[in-house]
Structure 1
């Protein structure tokens, strides 16, 4: 999985009819800055409102996932989001001049192709992964639906579908490597059963659906007169049935388990609404949009509650900032440069690492027979970590000095000794105003807090 965030190099558009609304629209993907995430923009509405791709904005899951924010809606977002997740693109503005993305062929492949044509650009920020720390389950016993997200230092999905149909037996699909999404999952099309078709039309859905953008599974005997009725309903001159596979209009499947693969595609798209790339093993039995969104809400709730938890550090993963980059931002140098690397950073928080060794110069005079890292230097290391976050929030960080102005509510909970690896986490407690920075910081060793404090600093422009 990618370490750095990505956007696209240039704008790219696709056009077509929406599956459920039947309204023609052009959808344009635009490059977006670091930490922007996925946002839709209805440029056909007054004020061109923006709708965040967030699970809290889901208002309907009737045969698709619908978002609404500030009175503006976007229908059937899952195929679009799945393409972005599959390509590991993090930051995009998606403009629409209609209420729904084009359905294209009923899959994500046209979006994948367009995004690849636009080019993918790496950005100078780490991906803000959320690693599932414990099993997260959603169960609907009435519908025999079960989904679970399990801890895993990767992103893998396995889906099982079972429709109790003579045409479709139990099917399974797996995605063990996101880099194979474009090849193995993206082209798998949406589908419905023949018995659902007329009901969907009467429910004011699939207005843009036809036999070029959806698979219709014939799950019962059908008479010639009914075929004529369906031809009229779907505005097709002639409709037949592929007797071999039970598919309307002789459409060939891309894969024998295309239905399970498409359900996996939907899971990928719906779970994008968590708002961050996730690391987990997703197991789903008979999933649908309602279940996908319910699991996404549970994951987001866990993610929100984990914001104050100990930052995770994996020494196998390259740092967000190495010592060279730290020295480009901070004016400190040995022996007062206290941070070895930055291991995590987003728009509101940062984590820095300090390896404490017996060779530290302060150990020769500070409790020499019982070496303990001075508390004041722990605060200095924490402040330097916070300074990285504060400076990185500015468009021209090299033009500012970071000066510590105040430390409050300082507590030391245990000694820091040679051999310890201290992870300092700092997060803004208020927006930066007039160069004044307020944040809370904490230091951890082996998952246990060793110190914490509230800090105020000022960013002073260099003369």
Structure 2
């Protein structure tokens, strides 16, 4: 397992917020394990904190904006992208305004600050969500779509098409997060001239200048527009370069717009709350679709965590095979419902059953639509627990196991022929006088299918 990380010391950056135009002081501070990324508004009474969590996304107008109990953080994505790109898990971000400084419109200066103080390993395993199936979100209004598929690393591809001649269609790919610093972090935010006019008319980008945003000129510049631009940016002269960019700004990359969109995806998906192992494919990404996808992914992760779906190597040699199980359990086919024991300790046991179409209960239980009876799933979990309790006596072959109580039984998914059932039983209380009280869960296809609180007792054969 990879360990969590934080920064080795504090570092402060100063600048202006892109939309507010306010002078901002921002300080990065080391954070404890499992903290994640948290923003603290030191300019407000009580110094309220906002976690970088997709559920706090308030709106996505020209950035990813968070709100918690009336406290705001604006345009969080460039800072968050820098931490993910520098392989950092836990940081406290103190701000004396609602918006981080825009700097040059990229994550470059944030990355440089992180590298200046360094990154240190912490004494806790990193939480990584391993993508096991295709997950997608589509914004029907715009056609924007984000999909993540299983992969052995975290990689991102962004494809953009704004329907303009000046920018055209662009793609960018980050094959591994280690490429972020050199290939992605210096890609600056951008806007089209028609958007710029609307932003200026609505009182936004007060902190913008021609050094922190690329402006693509997608229309003729009228005299009035030129006058407004000169006034807004404090310039005596503004020109359009042959590559269609306003003023004298040089591109860092030919596909800088697509790279910046990829940067935004990395920053917005940091709101999921853990690392992602999977390949992200973003078609026409934007902050709305990014954060909606982050909310969906976060919800899926929380459900899986709540169900505590375990992962076991089914090809590994089992702790007990069917012969060893039959030497301990008194059950025999067709009522022996455990094929293997994968794991066992003083407080838990993990069993396995391969469900085949040849099971005798399928003959009568919905033969035209075979489903494993729920009561037999509970019995199979109990037999796995029986292995645990019988292992506490020196002569298990001389004992029988009997149910005492079954509580809180829930069936969540159907179990069908071809499924592999995994049973995980954890002691609720220590085994005393042969009584076993345990929480039992059954899983198949990466999902919780049944759960129950079981109590059983072993008794010597008469």
Do the structures match in fold with TM over 0.5?
A: yes
Q: Is the radius of gyration larger for structure 1 or structure 2? A: 2
Superposed CA deviations along residues 19-59 of structure 1, whole A, max 9, x for unmatched, are 11111111111111111111100000000000011111010
Q: Secondary structure at the match of 2:39?
A: strand
Q: Post-superposition shift, 1:70? A: 1.7
- How far off its partner does 1:18 sit? 0.5
Q: Supply the distance in 2 between the matched residues of 1:87 and 1:118 (Cα, whole angstroms).
A: 12
CA–CA separation in structure 2 for the residues paired with 1:99 and 1:61: 15
Q: Is the 8 A contact 2:28 2:92 kept in 1?
A: yes
Q: Rate the CA distance shift 1:448–1:66 in 2: closer, same or farther, 3 A.
A: closer
SS in 1 for 2:348: helix
TM-score by length of 2: 0.73
* CA positional deviation for 1:83: 0.5
2:381 is aligned to: 413
Instruction: Rate the CA distance shift 1:145–1:366 in 2: closer, same or farther, 3 A.
Output: closer
Corresponding residue number in structure 2 for 1:195:
194
Q: Distance in 2 between matches of 1:15 and 1:439?
A: 56
Pair 1:365–1:84, CA change in 2 (3 A): same
Whether the 8 Å contact between 1:85 and 1:272 is mirrored in structure 2 is yes
Alignment partner of 2:319 out of 349, 352, 356:
356
| Structure 1 residue 367: Cα displacement | 5.7
Pair 451,18 (structure 1): closer, same or farther in 2 beyond 3 Å: closer
Q: Could you tell me whether the CA contact under 8 Å between 1:355 and 1:421 is conserved in 2?
A: no
- TM-score, normalised with respect to structure 1: 0.72
Q: Distance in 1 between matches of 2:221 and 2:75?
A: 30
Q: Could you tell me how far apart the structure 2 residues matched to 1:311 and 1:126 are?
A: 16
Helix, strand or coil for the counterpart of 2:127?
coil
**Can you list the C-alpha shifts for 1:134-155, whole angstroms capped at 9, x where unaligned?**
2222222332212212222321
Alignment-derived partner of residue 89 in structure 2: 90
Q: What whole-Å deviation, never above 9, does each CA across 1:115-163 have from its counterpart, x for those lacking one?
A: 1111101112111111223222222233221221222232111111111
Q: Which runs of 5+ in 2 are unaligned?
A: 351-377, 388-419, 429-436, 455-462
Distance 1:32 1:354 in 2: 41
The match for 1:234 is: 233
Counterpart contact for 2:381–2:424, Cα < 8 Å: no
SS at 1:84 equivalent? helix
- Structure 2: distance between partners of 1:139 and 1:446: 25
Conservation of the 8 A alpha-carbon contact between 1:158 and 1:172 = yes
Provide the secondary structure at the position in 2 that maps to 1:413. Answer: helix
Change (3 A) 1:427 1:72: farther
> Residue 141 of structure 2 aligns to a residue in which SS?
helix
Question: How far apart, CA to CA, are the structure 1 residues paired with 2:119 and 2:179?
Answer: 16
Q: Where does residue 166 of structure 1 map in the other structure?
A: 165
Contact 1:414 1:451 in 2 (8 A): no
Cα distance change, pair 23–223 in 1 and its aligned pair in 2 (3 A): same
Structure 1 equivalent of residue 291 of structure 2: 293
1:302 to 300, 303, 314: 300
